[in-house]
Amino acid sequence: MRADAPAPAEVGRPLTAAAQLRLACELSTWAGEAGRCGWCNKPLASARRTAWCSDRCRRAFARNHTWTLARANARRRARYACSRPGCAAGRRELEVNHIDPRNGGGYGESCAHHADNLEVLCHAHHVEVTNAQRRHRGGAAEQPPLRR
Ligand SMILES: [Zn+2]
Ligand SMILES: [Zn+2]
Ligand SMILES: [Zn+2]
């Protein structure tokens, strides 16, 4: 495919759900054009059917959208410590909180798992944050945070 091929929308080809996610993602610079990397928008060198120009771009997307990878990345970035100042909770007590809450949005591949929407908290601080979010929403019944 030519690097300047028209965007899929222009030729009427429906985008897959995965492509729609990349297109809507504010971290990805992909503009929906076929033959370009779904993360950095560089023309793809390989004729192989792939969305990524490199392993680096594939991994960059994955650690901001795939929950298990995003969670591991958040813990690593936080140096395995609760983000509340002075909290001395141990590594085993750590959980990862969505700053903009999921509200039942699930843990599928999503822009909700962007690194800047995740913070590492100990279980006690996670419960505190979740309770505050619940009060903020008007006290609707909500699951306590899972131990993740
Ligand atoms: Zn790329
Ligand atoms: Zn995204
Ligand atoms: Zn804590």
Q: Cα 55 to the chain's mean position, in Å?
A: 17
79-115 confidence digits (pLDDT tens): 999 999 999 999 999 999 999 998 888 899 999 999 9
Using the mean position of ligand 1's atoms as its centre, give its distance from the Cα of residue 99 in Å. Answer: 28
DSSP state of 15: P
What pLDDT score does 60 carry?
Answer: 98
Phi–psi pair at 42, nearest 5 degrees: -70, 145
Coil vs helix vs strand at 97: strand
| pLDDT the model gives residue 137 | 77
The per-residue pLDDT for range 51-81, each reduced to its tens digit, is 999 999 999 999 999 999 999 999 999 999 9
Which residues lie at CB < 5 A from ion ligand 3? 82, 84, 87, 89, 122, 125
DSSP-derived letter for residue 32 is S
Q: Which ligand is nearest to the CA of 124?
A: 3
The answer on pLDDT for 24 being more than 60 is: yes
What's the whole-number average pLDDT of the chain? 88
Please state the length of the chain: 148
Nearest to 72 by CA among 88, 95, 56, 52: 95
Hey, what's the torsion of the CAs at 59, 64, 67, 72, to 10 degrees? 70
